[in-house]
Amino acid sequence: MQSNDRRIKVFTGNANPDLARAICKELGLPLGDSIVKTFSDGEISVNINETVRGIDVFVVQSFSLPKVNDYLMELLIMIDALKRASAGRITAVIPYYGYARQDRKAKARDPISAKLVANLIVAAGADRVLTMDLHAAQIQGYFDIPLDHLKGVPIIAEYFRQKDIKDLVVVSPDLGSVTRTRDLSNKVDAPIAIVDKRRPEPNVSEIMNIIGEVKGKNVILIDDMIDTAGTIVNAAKALKEMGAKDVYACCTHGVFSGPAASRIRDSEISELVVLDTIDVSPEMKELKNVTMLSVAPLFSEAIRRIFNNDSVSTMFEE
């Protein structure tokens, strides 16, 4: 693929190489030749084994389990290596932007780690960022370089439209996800309901009330991410107790830390639909009620548009 004699290459770290290969397949490109490993003392070593001089380079890397901080450092060092090798333009493709939940000072002396990570990426030499469903939309403004923000809802909506579920209600697991819930509800033509919860401490949630009608309905719970799965599992249980029929759940980012796999396996959730922004554990992949959908076509189209200097936002216009 060429445009105005400029060329494109896609590289990846170790966070989600399968997704990077799928993106390259969609683009009709080979994956860039690089080796990212660690020295015996744990320091990260990067080798870019082909020329990138004057080339439009995209580096695919999420910050996720099992090595969140290593994956962040891999991205920073790869960007530095590419910058020093005279790459024409470097785009950090971050399907899942870790540290996004630390986006503000919730109490005195809290860090704003999401901003710190943004500063590190810019300082390393990235020219732009491509990401999906940031936990907090204001993180887009933390970067002093262009950022393109993709949405996972259209992929999820298309999947559920094909299932053609009757008597459907789309449910937000908390007040913070209402906008995303409304977006999905519009796309599948269903009303919404809201779970009123409180979080007495991190990774712990308590369901207080259900706002909306769910009795006798099939419901879809939607969130941007599922971490320990406490919120989504408790919400599913509360919905069943309120008379809901089948409970489906979906999210863009399957973090799935700690007891998430066992909680989902033993939950009231009939099917959990997850996008592959994160390379989930084998234990999660083996669960019969988990369906993985690929974001590769969406990211490849965004990369193609960035390379050709076309609009990315028009991808989501209806």
In angstroms, rounded to a whole number, what is the distance separating the alpha carbons of residues 315 and 318? 9
User: Exposed, middle or buried by CB within 10 Å (0-12, 13-18, 19+), for 144?
Assistant: exposed
To the question of whether residue 118 is assigned a binding role by annotation, the answer is no
**Residue where the block lists tokens 């997704």:** 19
Q: Is 246 annotated as a binding residue?
A: no
- In the set 197, 215, 217, 237, the catalytic residue is 197
Determine if residue 228 is labeled as part of a ligand binding site. yes
26 known ligand binder: no
227 belongs to an annotated ligand binding site? yes
The answer to the question of whether 61 is labelled as a binding residue is: no
Q: Is 301 annotated as a binding residue?
A: no
Q: Please indicate if the annotation marks 144 as binding a ligand.
A: no
Is 199 annotated as contributing to ligand binding?
yes
Burial (Cβ within 10 Å: 0-12, 13-18, ≥19) of residue 259: middle
Known catalytic membership, residue 67: no
- Is 279 among the annotated ligand-binding positions? no
Query: What burial letters (b/e) apply to 197-221, b meaning 16+ CB within 10 Å?
Result: beeeeeeebebeebebebeebbbbb
Tally the residues of the chain: 318
Locate tokens 């999947």: which residue? 159
Return the closest-CA partner of residue 117 out of 103, 105, 130. 103
Residue 138 marked ligand-binding: no
For the stretch 50-63, what's the b/e string if a residue is b when 16 or more beta carbons lie within 10 angstroms of its beta carbon? eebeebbbbbbbbb
Structure token digits, residue 75: 């991205």
Residue 135 assigned as binding residue = yes
Type and span of the H or E element at 10: strand 8-12
Catalytic residue list: 197
Extract the annotated binding site for ATP: 41-43, 101-102
Extract the annotated binding site for D-ribose 5-phosphate: 199, 223, 227-231
Extract the annotated binding site for Mg(2+): 135, 174
Extract the annotated binding site: 41-43, 101-102, 135, 174, 199, 223, 227-231
